[in-house]
Structure 1
Amino acid sequence: DTPHAALGVFVEITALERLERIRRDFFANLSHELRTPLAAILAYVETLQEIEPDDSEHMRRCLDGLFRQAQRLHALVRDITDLAEIESGAIALSLEVLPLRAFVEDVLALIQPQAEERGIAIVNEVPEAIQVLADPLRLTQILQNLLDNAVKFNRPNGHVWIRARRLGEHLEISIADTGIGIPPADQPRIFERFYRGEKSRSRETGGSGLGLAIVKHLVQLHGGEIHVRSEPGVGSEFTVRLKAVPEPKVAQGAPSTDATK
């Protein structure tokens, strides 16, 4: 029994060390994400203090910068709160049958200004007849995060396609883009909290680094799964698989109209 007991203790210590390493990495990344916008805000405030009162153009640029960095901080705090609630099991889904194409159009309205600014064309190819069983708020988060990334990491005047198809009892929703792509070495870890690839995608573009982790948790909360296919320089495709709305069963042996006369 002694070797088995020693092995059990070793495994437990290894697990604790891994958890401690994850905790340290999380707070190290979090402190960096907080410091970056805070440093920018302080720099803008210092500049504002030195600007001549009649230099309205310089003042406007500083205020715009302050607003952007405040938005970045707000998004980070929101994402941290969401992820904490999801991981603690505090979120309960309120499932509804949703017409997917119309639902996607509503989400696209949130993304469209950002897409138009960069000349990105988003094409909704979801068939009219497809329905999905999902929580409207959480499905919006899933799609908005994925579409936001598809626009953010795209090339100027690029394209984004959102498609859906039914596969038996499941529904596949895919979002493909013509963006910069994700290196193969980064793809297995892309859904980890604060994971940074070689090109530090979200750091360059001001993201929180939590969006895909939130997406994965929300998809799993729906009993689904998410996968990514990507080729650097060509683009990426994220595929979400959820439970489809059960098809209505045709009643067997129902009496015909003639038989009842």
Structure 2
Amino acid sequence: MIKYRKQIVISLFVIVIVWYLLDKLSNGFVLDYIANNFTNVYEYTDAQGILHQVSKPDWENIKFYTLILTALLTAGCVYLIKYNADKKSKSDKADLIHQLEMELTAFRDGKEYLQMSEELAPIDSLLMQIRNKEDKQIQTIEKQTQQKNDLISYLAHDMKTPLASVIGYLSLLHDVKDIPKEQNDAYIQIALDKANRLESLIDEFFDITRFNLHDIVISRGKIQMRFLFEQLREQFYPIMLKQHKEIILDMPEDLVYYGDGDKLARAFNNILKNAISYSYEETKIFIECHQDEHTLTLYFHNQGDEIPKQKLDMIFEKFYRLDKARSTNSGGAGLGLAIAKEIVEAHDGTIRAESSMKETVFIVTLPMKI
């Protein structure tokens, strides 16, 4: 109410001026009217017989007109206060809208903007969060794009080496007719190994060029888990034999899971490929399974170098490779575990890794859905 004191005083002053002007314009009629209506004249004769006239206030009329005047003054003050408040509110609202438009325009154009007023503080905070999130996403995309481009260049370069070996040894076998059988077999084996390596590099190249983390569509069906892992074990048998390794399965024969068999096979294939690549020669890879009413948990154990704790989450990122030296013989594109993670999460599951000097374990947890 204090901040409207000036408006009230002005209102009263205006009312007095209006009354004064009305009196002047009416040649004193207003004041005469007030005098006639607010006083009563009484006559009486004293003891000497003299007639006297006495004016006394007409309190009933005074009360009545005071009440009306108070009501009019109050209504006028309230109207003036409300009018000024509405005018200021509209002005403030227009200023806020203008400020918000300027800030949103600056935000859209990626320009710096001034701190917003207190009323717009929540919006300012939200815009800052959006911008920070957007900046992080841009940085992540730029980083992944650079990694992708580097890996494509590396793989393109690496393809030349096995391809040159294949061409060289096949040309030698074609041109030289009297090569001893033992040497002939050795050349064929070398060419075959290099061709297999070239195929692996081409697969990785295709993974890089076509892989984007879009939503994966899951087509669920019954999967005989033991049979699926038996197939994977057979698939890796030549590599395991050469490196004197072995895959040991510890899971029930009749274990059934309801999921996308093709995609889960790819995820488990990538996990196994990683375990084989980073495990010591002449060691065993154990795959065990625990099932309860709600979850199916798979453990992939392998013996190899310990993965530092700060890198246990990073190994599931796209294009991240633990071996920064990028071995030509075993280096991958860094997509295998990222693809496995996407497939597992598309089944509403989780994947994580634990590592120590003794062993590294990949743990896949899948919900049991029917």
- Give the TM-score band, short-chain normalised: 0.7 to 0.9
Separation of aligned partners in 2, 1:148 and 1:176: 12
Separation of aligned partners in 2, 1:118 and 1:50: 28
Separation of aligned partners in 1, 2:197 and 2:239: 17
One of 39, 50, 54 as aligned partner of 2:176: 54
Moved more, 64-73 or 111-120: 64-73
Separation of aligned partners in 2, 1:128 and 1:41: 43
Moved more, 217-226 or 95-104: 95-104
Contact 1:202 1:209 in 2 (8 A): no
1:23 to partner: Cα distance = 1.6
Task: For residue 205 of structure 1, give the secondary structure of its aligned residue in structure 2.
Answer: coil
1:105 to partner: Cα distance = 1.5
Higher RCO (C-alpha 8 Å, min separation 6): 1
Task: For residue 352 of structure 2, give the secondary structure of its aligned residue in structure 1.
Answer: strand
1:167 to partner: Cα distance = 3.8
Please state if 1:68 is matched with 2:196.
yes
Task: For residue 164 of structure 1, give the secondary structure of its aligned residue in structure 2.
Answer: strand
Task: For residue 139 of structure 1, give the secondary structure of its aligned residue in structure 2.
Answer: helix
The runs of 4+ residues in structure 1 deviating greater than 6 Å are 46-52
Gaps of 5+ in 2: 1-99, 101-113, 116-123
One of 156, 159, 162 as aligned partner of 1:34: 156
Please state if 1:145 is matched with 2:267.
no
Contact 2:155 2:205 in 1 (8 A): no
1:74 to partner: Cα distance = 2.2
The structure-2 alpha-carbon separation of the partners of 1:117 and 1:173, relative to structure 1 and needing over 3 Å to count, comes to same
Partner of 1:235: 359
Contact 1:193 1:210 in 2 (8 A): yes
- TM-score normalised to the size of structure 1? 0.78
Quote the sequence identity (%): 22
1:178 to partner: Cα distance = 1.9
The structure-2 alpha-carbon separation of the partners of 1:15 and 1:161, relative to structure 1 and needing over 3 Å to count, comes to closer
Contact 2:344 2:364 in 1 (8 A): yes
Gaps of 5+ in 1: 247-261
Contact 1:124 1:162 in 2 (8 A): yes
Separation of aligned partners in 2, 1:141 and 1:51: 37
1:239 to partner: Cα distance = 0.8
Greater Cα radius of gyration, structure 1 or 2: 2
Partner of 2:345: 220
Task: For residue 343 of structure 2, give the secondary structure of its aligned residue in structure 1.
Answer: helix
Partner of 2:297: 172
Contact 2:197 2:329 in 1 (8 A): no
Residue 77 of structure 1 aligns with an amino acid whose one-letter code is F
Cα deviation code 1:8-62 (max 9, x no counterpart): 6852445424422332222122321222222442466468778992175485466
Task: For residue 76 of structure 1, give the secondary structure of its aligned residue in structure 2.
Answer: helix
1:187 to partner: Cα distance = 1.4
Contact 1:38 1:69 in 2 (8 A): no
Separation of aligned partners in 1, 2:327 and 2:258: 30
Partner of 1:123: 248
Please state if 1:19 is matched with 2:141.
yes
The structure-2 alpha-carbon separation of the partners of 1:42 and 1:152, relative to structure 1 and needing over 3 Å to count, comes to same
1:79 to partner: Cα distance = 2.4
Which structure shows the bigger proportion of residues in helix conformation? 2
Separation of aligned partners in 1, 2:361 and 2:232: 18
Matches within 5 A, 1:165-204: 165-197=290-322, 200=325
- TM-score normalised to the size of structure 2? 0.57
Matches within 5 A, 1:79-98: 79-80=207-208, 83-84=211-212, 87-89=213-215, 91-98=216-223
Please state if 1:7 is matched with 2:146.
no
One of 107, 131, 139 as aligned partner of 2:232: 107
Separation of aligned partners in 1, 2:137 and 2:363: 31
Separation of aligned partners in 2, 1:22 and 1:194: 7
Question: What is the aligned residue count?
Answer: 242
The structure-2 alpha-carbon separation of the partners of 1:123 and 1:8, relative to structure 1 and needing over 3 Å to count, comes to closer
